[in-house]
Copies of this chain bind each other. A is one copy, B any other.
Amino acid sequence: MHNSIDPDINKPHNGTITKTTSRQIADRLGVSQATVSRVLRNVPGYQYSAKTRGRILEEAERMGYRPNAVASSLREGRTHVIGFHNQHSELDPLNIFMAEVIRSLQQTCLEIHHLLLLHNFAPDVSIPHRLAELTCGRIDALVVHLQENGPLAEGIALSGLPTVAIANRVASLPSVGCDEAAGIRLAMEHLIAHGHERIAFAYSTYPLEAAKARHEAYITEMEHRGWKPVSVPCSNHDTDTTLQALHSQSPQPTAVCCWNDVSALCLLRACNRAGVSVPDDLAIVGFDGVLDNRLLQRNLTTVDVQWARISDTAVELLMRMLRGESVPWVTNVLPKLRIGETT
The interface of chain A, by Cβ under 8 A from chain B, is 1-7, 9-19, 64, 66-71, 73-74, 79, 81, 88, 91, 93-94, 96, 99-100, 102-103, 106-107, 109-110, 115-122, 132, 135-138, 159-162, 174, 179, 236, 262, 265-266, 268-269, 272, 291-292, 294-298, 309, 312-313, 321-334
A sample of 27 cross-chain residue pairs with beta-carbon separation below 8 angstroms, ordered by A number, consists of A4-B331, A4-B332, A5-B330, A5-B331, A5-B332, A6-B329, A6-B330, A17-B161, A19-B137, A64-B159, A70-B79, A74-B74, A81-B117, A93-B100, A96-B292, A102-B118, A115-B118, A115-B119, A115-B138, A117-B118, A236-B294, A262-B294, A262-B295, A265-B296, A272-B298, A295-B295, A297-B297
Interface of A (DSSP majority class):
mixed
Picked from B13, B103, B309, B333, the residue with its CB within 8 Å of the CB of A324 is B13
Picked from B116, B236, B330, the residue with its CB within 8 Å of the CB of A117 is B116
The interface residues of chain B lying within 8 Å CB-to-CB of A14 are 324
Is the beta-carbon distance between B295 and A298 smaller than 8 angstroms?
no
A81 to chain B, nearest CB (A): 7
A47 to chain B, nearest CB (A): 26
Since A5-B332, A99-B99, A115-B119 are in contact, a sample of 7 more A-B pairs with Cβ atoms closer than 8 Å, ordered by chain A residue number, is A1-B312, A6-B329, A10-B326, A17-B161, A66-B137, A107-B120, A296-B296
The interface residues of chain B lying within 8 Å CB-to-CB of A328 are 5-7, 9-11
The interface residues of chain B lying within 8 Å CB-to-CB of A137 are 19, 66, 68-71
